[in-house]
Structures are given as C-alpha cells and as structure tokens.
Amino acid sequence: MPFPKEFHFGVCSAAYQVEGAIHEGDKLPSIWDVYSHTPGKIKNGENGDIAIDFYHRYKEDIVLAKELGVDTFRFSLAWTRLVKQDGSTNEAGVKFYRQVLEEIHRQGLRPVITLYHWDLPQYLEDRGGWKERNIIDDFLTYVRVAKENFLDLCQDYLTFNEPQCFLYLGYQNLGHAPGKVYTFEEMMRAAHNVLMCHFKAQRLLEEGHPEVHVGFVNTMNGVIPEDDSVALWEEIKKHFFATPKTAQDFYTQSIYMDPLYLHHYPKEVEEYMEEHHILQPGDLDLIRNGKEDTVYLNLYTANHCYVDKKGLYHSERRPTKENQGFLEWLIKEPETLYYTPKLIQERYHLPIVISENGDAVEDILTPDGHIHDPRRSEYLLSYLGEMEKAIQDGVDIRGYFYWSLCDNFEWAEGFGPRFGLVYIDYKNGLKRIKKDSFTSYQTFIKEHH
Ligand code: BGC
C-alpha cells in the first residue's frame, strides 16, 4: 500500500549523541558533558567528547541519509554551542549549524530541528535547572538565536524531546544527567516550566512566519490490550492518562499531553499548581491558545494490559527469549505501533508522527567488513507493518523516523547499544559501514512512496 501523499520518512539523532568536538567552536559545557565525566555514571567510563564526530563528518552522514531514501533529517542543536553565558550569540555555533542545514538542503532533504534533546547548559543547572521559573527567559534567548539565524533554512521545529525521560530520569536520579532528586512539587514546577518554554517558543518562532511549524515530542511505553473488549480499552485509557501522584510518577502522559493537545491541565494538576503558586498570570491563557496540530510520539515498546479475575488492572512487560532486546526496557513489540497511536488519536484527535522508533542489536563486523543484522530489519519491518495496519484502520499517521541513522552514544549506556542503520567502527577511525537493515529500510521506503 502506498502511504498517504504527505507521509514523511526520516531518520533522527541528537547533538550530544553524535557531535563530539566538545572543545571546538567555544562550546560551553552541558549537563551531559559534566555528568559523563563523573566517575561511575556511564558504562565503561565512556563519554560523548568525540561521539561519532558528526561535527566534522556531517556531510558524509547527510549523504548517507540521502542514499537511504528518507526525505526528512531530524537532528538537534546544542544550546551550549549557540548561546554564551552572557546571553549573546556564539557565531561559531551559528556557522556550524548553517553549514549542516545547507548540506541537508543540498541533498534534497527537509530538516527538522529539535531544540532541546537533553543537553542543558551546566550554568543553568547550577542555578537550579528546570524547576526555576527564570529558565524560561534563558530558553527564549536561545530560541531567539535560532529564529534569527535558521528560519530561512528550517521551518520545522520540535521544542522538547521527551520530558517524560529527561525530567524523570534526570531529576529522580535514575541514571541520566544531572542525576538530581527533585521533590514532587519541584517536579511539578519543572514540568510546568518546560511547557511554558514550549508555548512561548512556539509563539516566538511562528510570529510573522506562517510557514514555520513547532511541535513537541512525547514518549511512553505503549499499550497492547490482551483482548479487544471495550471494557478493557476504557480501563487502559483510565490508567494510561492518570496524573502523577508521587515524584516517581513523572514518566506519565496527561500532565504534558493534556495541556498541549486539550489545552488544559488535568483538573487535579491545575488545582495543585494553583495551591502551590506554580501558575502565574497568563500561563493558562498560553495553554488555552496553544497551536499544536500534530502529536509526536517516540515509541519503542509496549506493555501488555489486562484485568485479572479479581478485577485488578495490570500493565506489564512481557520479555521472552525472542523479543528481549539489547537493553532491558527494549522489548520488541510491533503492535506498539498499532494500538498506541490509536489510543492517542482517540483522546487528542490530531494527526500523529512517529518521531522515533528503533532497535539496538549486538552487531558483529564480519571479517570481510559487513554487518548482517536480520533482527533489526525484522524489528523495523514488523513495526512498519503494524503502523501500516493502523493507517488502514483510520489512524492518521503522517510520518515515521527511524532512530538512528548511525550508531551513537547511548547516554548512560555508552557506546554498547547500537541503534544505527549505519555501523560506526569505533576501532577504525569511526568508519561508517551500511548494515543490511539500511537496505531493508531503503527498500521499504521505495515500495511505499
Ligand atoms: C531518545 C534517544 C535515545 C533513544 C534510544 C529516545 O528515548 O530520544 O536519545 O537514544 O531513545 O534509547
């Protein structure tokens, strides 16, 4: 089946995971630069100082994306390359990203910029990080730099990648930078500040530029119902969209997604924020007037959901020998891309883009220099197949981005987990080698466009 005309196929990456060159272009340290150099934080003491050297090799990688056949190249800017501590613009950073954007266009691809993929300037973390209201001004200073310098070359922006991850894992000390512990109230403040940054950035970028489009990227463990009953589906919705009750509950949905796509907080969240003076005049108006027209979802896996004989609801991982991936949470569940977009569309009634999906596999370089990775191809094609089924059943999905074009620095896990369609030979000058799965995705795109 050919996909809808406006359907986009893409690949994605994030600055800290690929760029390296941390001492070039007057880059300031981010929380990941500091965290990765803190003993014991990253597997095998690895860090992103060099990463895969996208900073110097972006041309090669963009040409590979072109060869793959995708039409969209999603990547992130490093805030710490673009804004100096006094708020002025770092021209070296502007120059670098303009060159990247120009190359993306030269290859006939469409760029999508993620503004925040987890690399907060360390000086802002030292001031208290996301829980402090004044972070909004700093974020807007950064967004202004993007607006002034990149709007002619890029019209599609995603403000935040996965607050579900960077707030929860980073501020409940669960293995991500900055490794702090916020209280429940601080988590609420941080979530609200992130949303305020988003809405204000959206206004700023879109003002006077009807061609500019600004979205927000969510992530979640998807759902797979054990049966097709309406009762179970309703139960799933109730639990899936429940609001956080403790600081450990911030890997959650409605606190971010309801304000974005329904234009209001869940009632009890709004009440809490009122009581704790988190809301300031004008905040709810910003939320009411938000302009979201697409829901972006990073989806890798799902939980199986059922109600037991005693009427208790369960949502659980089902790892088996066959579906267990390279990382503990990474369980191959292709139906993730069938049921989850359906669930999201029923609540928010907006088109959906799968902004990330991918598999990490232990790739083994053959003596003649190849990577045969049938498991990754099988993952990719089975997920795409389920997504196709969802589209046939009326779910309005407009795009799919594979994570990631190349192997890269997988945060606390270091370089071990390889998500790329292109192998990086870390022992051999970061040589790029196309894996078999590169061809699988390439063929799928050809057949469906
Ligand atoms: C993140 C990526 C990460 C990928 C695989 C996503 O949650 O956006 O940065 O590498 O998952 O773990």
CATH 2.40.70.10 fits 8-448, yes or no: no
- Output the residue whose Cα is nearest ligand 1's atom 12: 410
pLDDT (0 to 100) of residue 6: 84
DSSP 8-state code for residue 25: T
The beta-strand segments (E) located in 313-420 are 313-316, 352-356, 397-403
2 CA to centre of ligand 1 in angstroms: 28
pLDDT (0 to 100) of residue 3: 82
pLDDT (0 to 100) of residue 22: 98
Contact between 133 and 96 under an 8 Å Cβ cutoff? The reply is no
* pLDDT tens digits, one per residue of 238-277: 999 999 999 999 999 999 999 999 999 999 999 999 999 9
Encoded tokens for 229: 């009953």
Average pLDDT, the chain: 98
Instruction: Point out the ligand 1 atom lying closest to the alpha carbon of residue 358.
Output: 5
Question: What does the alpha-carbon distance between residue 67 and residue 281 come to, in Å, rounded to a whole number?
Answer: 50
Q: Is the CB of 70 under 6 A from ligand 1?
A: no
Split at pLDDT 50, 70, 90, the class of 119 is very high
161 CA to centre of ligand 1 in angstroms: 9
Encoded tokens for 74: 């999603």
380 CA to centre of ligand 1 in angstroms: 16
Give the Cβ contact number of residue 109 at 10 Å: 19
Q: Is the CB of 42 under 6 A from ligand 1?
A: no
Contact between 351 and 396 under an 8 Å Cβ cutoff? The reply is yes
Instruction: Point out the ligand 1 atom lying closest to the alpha carbon of residue 118.
Output: 9
In which element (H, E) is residue 9 found?
A: strand 8-12
Residue 85 dihedral angles phi and psi, to the nearest 5°: -60, -25
358 CA to centre of ligand 1 in angstroms: 9
- Which of the residues are catalytic? 162, 356
357 CA to centre of ligand 1 in angstroms: 9
Question: What does the alpha-carbon distance between residue 256 and residue 197 come to, in Å, rounded to a whole number?
Answer: 12
Instruction: Point out the ligand 1 atom lying closest to the alpha carbon of residue 413.
Output: 12
Q: Is the CB of 356 under 6 A from ligand 1?
A: yes
* pLDDT tens digits, one per residue of 159-217: 999 999 999 999 999 999 999 999 999 999 999 999 999 999 999 999 999 999 999 99
Split at pLDDT 50, 70, 90, the class of 1 is low
Instruction: Single out the residue of 420, 417, 372, 381 nearest to residue 61, CA to CA.
Output: 420
Give the mutation target among 403, 408, 418 for probing the ligand 1 site: most ligand atoms within 8 A of CB.
Answer: 403
pLDDT (0 to 100) of residue 108: 98
pLDDT (0 to 100) of residue 87: 98
pLDDT (0 to 100) of residue 155: 98
Domain definitions of the chain by residue range? 8-448
Encoded tokens for 247: 């600081």
**Which whole number is the average pLDDT over 414-432?**
98
Encoded tokens for 115: 């503004």
